[in-house]
Copies of this chain bind each other. A is one copy, B any other.
Amino acid sequence: MESTNGLVTDAEIKSFFDSAPPLRDSAGITNKLKEFIQLNSAPQGNASPRRVVCVTSGGTTVPLEQRCVRYIDNFSSGHRGSTSTEYFIKAGYAVIFLYRRGTCQPYCRSLPEDPLLECFEFTNGSNVQVRQSYSEAVKRAINDHHAAIAAGHLLKLPFTTIFEYLQMLQMIAISMRDLGPHAMFYLAAAVSDFYVPWKDMAEHKIQSASGPLDMRLVQVPKMLSVLRKEWAPMAFCISFKLETDTKILLEKADMALKKYKMHMVIANELLTRKEEVTVVTADKKIPVRRDKTQAGSDVEKPLIELLVEKHSAHIKDADK
């Protein structure tokens, strides 16, 4: 079933989706997507319709048992995706934020690990109040977040497993198809490379009594090429490559660019990813760095500025 050129075959993709447990509330998600895209693709007065970006964020899990007790997880705090979402909204985009449950949310990155227990206190009159040191961060989190949702510029859709993630990504891509080149995919989620097909999975908890545990995981079909070719062929597509070994990072980013026909691949290294990334395109590699002269600056600000500019060029090209 494996194709010879490293790309996925239709049979592999069908097999993955057939093996996935059915997505809960799939009809509800479809409706939300439809409404959100309708709202944002309507002409905005004299201006052109709002651009829509799907930002994916956080890691996917791979269940090892059907009644899931154990699973493989991919480390990702969701900072990249949530911070980028803020800048996309600021730049006038509508954002579909496909995020792992429990990871960092837009406008919340300045908050401590457990905001409720750390940012609030009770006054003597037993009214809740924000601790002085957190007042700006809390105000920003609550105000800006609710404002983005109320204005219809932010749609949040949570996932946990690789099955949910890919099923939802497909639904989003298909619903964004009519936006043509005005659609963007910013795929910052840490997606599992390997999984256990649902039918091969132990139904019950794996027993630990008898010696070492040998596991065989198979590769998750790379859906990037299908996204580009079939789900949303006109959209501007950006994927991420994270490695811990700098030596192979740019080479692997280059390979991903060609293999999956991405418009750009953002290469980042685990230890320096908050300081610097490299935007890999067909003809050049552009380093993007955090502005170190500014306290509290981040690499996402210049990165999103660059991407918005490249997306404009993509739209212009398509309109020719």
Q: Which A residues fall within an 8 A CB radius of B?
A: 6, 61, 64-65, 67-75, 101-102, 105, 108, 111, 113-117, 119-122, 126, 128-130, 138-139, 141-143, 145-146, 190, 192-194, 203-206, 208-209, 211-219, 242-245, 270-271
Contacts and interface: CB of A to CB of B under 8 A. Distances in A.
B219 A211 contact: yes
Given A128-B138, A128-B142, A138-B128, A214 B216 contact: yes
B214 A215 contact: yes
A254 to B, nearest CB: 14
A32 to B, nearest CB: 17
28 contacts: A61-B73, A67-B244, A70-B73, A70-B75, A70-B192, A71-B72, A71-B73, A71-B75, A72-B73, A102-B102, A105-B114, A105-B117, A111-B116, A116-B119, A120-B138, A120-B142, A122-B139, A126-B139, A128-B130, A128-B139, A193-B206, A205-B270, A211-B219, A212-B216, A212-B219, A213-B217, A213-B218, A214-B216
| Leading 9 A-B pairs by shortest Cβ distance | A193-B208, A67-B244, A204-B245, A213-B217, A115-B116, A73-B73, A194-B213, A215-B215, A204-B244
B208 A194 contact: yes
Count copies of this chain in the complex: 2
A260 to B, nearest CB: 13
Judged by DSSP, the binding face of A is: mixed
A211 B194 CA distance: 10
A192 to B, nearest CB: 8
Contacts of A116: 108, 111, 115-116, 119, 138, 141-142
A100 to B, nearest CB: 12
Contact of A145 (B117, B143, B145, B212): B117
B146 A270 contact: no
